[in-house]
Amino acid sequence: MKTLTLLRHAKSGWDDPVARDFDRPLNPKGRRAALAMGRHLRDLGLGFDRVLASPAVRVTETVAEVEKGLGRALSPAWDRRLYLASAATLLDAVHEASPDAASLLLVGHNPGLEELAMLLVPDTAGGLRDAVEEKYPTATLAEITFEIDDWSAVAAGQGVLTRFVRPRDVDPALGPDAS
C-alpha cells in the first residue's frame, strides 16, 4: 500500500510588491494556517518517507510553518518542475518516487494538486471527492491511498481519498470569513 498526501501552499500575500509570482510570500493568515496544519499532522501522527515540493517562496514558507507545528523537519526535495505544475507533471513526479517510500507528500499549487486528486480518485457520488471538487483551499491536504507496491503503478481512478482537511476544519478562525 502507498499513501500520497497533497498539500496546497498556504494563503499568499497579493499585496506584497514582488516582481515575480514565484517570489510571493505568505500572508499572516497563511502562516497561521500552515502552522495549524503542521500541528494537525502531528496530532494525527502522520509522517512521510519522501517529500517533494515546489521551490516557490510561498511553498518554502508553508513548509517552514508546517515544520514548526509538526515539531520536526520534513526535509523536502525542492523540485522546480512542481512550480505551478499540471496534474500530468505532478503524476510524473509521483511515478518517479522510490518504491521504498510508503508515504509521499507533494507540496505545491493549484489547480494542479486539485486536478491530480480528481484524476486519481474515482468519480462516485458523495463523500470527500465532492469536497475536493467544490474547492481545494490554500493549506488544505488530501490523502489518497493506493493498493500498489510501486509508485509507477499509480493510475487514474485507482486511489481512495481517505482524508481531506482544510485549515478551517482544524481551526474555525481560519475559515473564509475570518481575517
pLDDT at 47 exceeding the cut of 70: yes
Kindly report the average pLDDT of the chain as a whole number. Answer: 94
pLDDT digits (tens, 9 = 90+) for 143-173: 999 999 999 999 999 999 999 999 999 999 9
pLDDT score, position 15: 75
pLDDT score, position 179: 44
Which helix (H) or strand (E) is 58 found in, with range? helix 57-70
94 CB burial (10 A radius; 0-12, 13-18, 19+)? buried
pLDDT digits (tens, 9 = 90+) for 105-150: 999 999 999 999 999 999 886 788 999 999 999 999 999 999 999 9
C-beta of residue 103 within 8 angstroms of C-beta of residue 75: no
Q: Which CATH superfamily is 2-174 part of?
A: Phosphoglycerate mutase-like (3.40.50.1240)
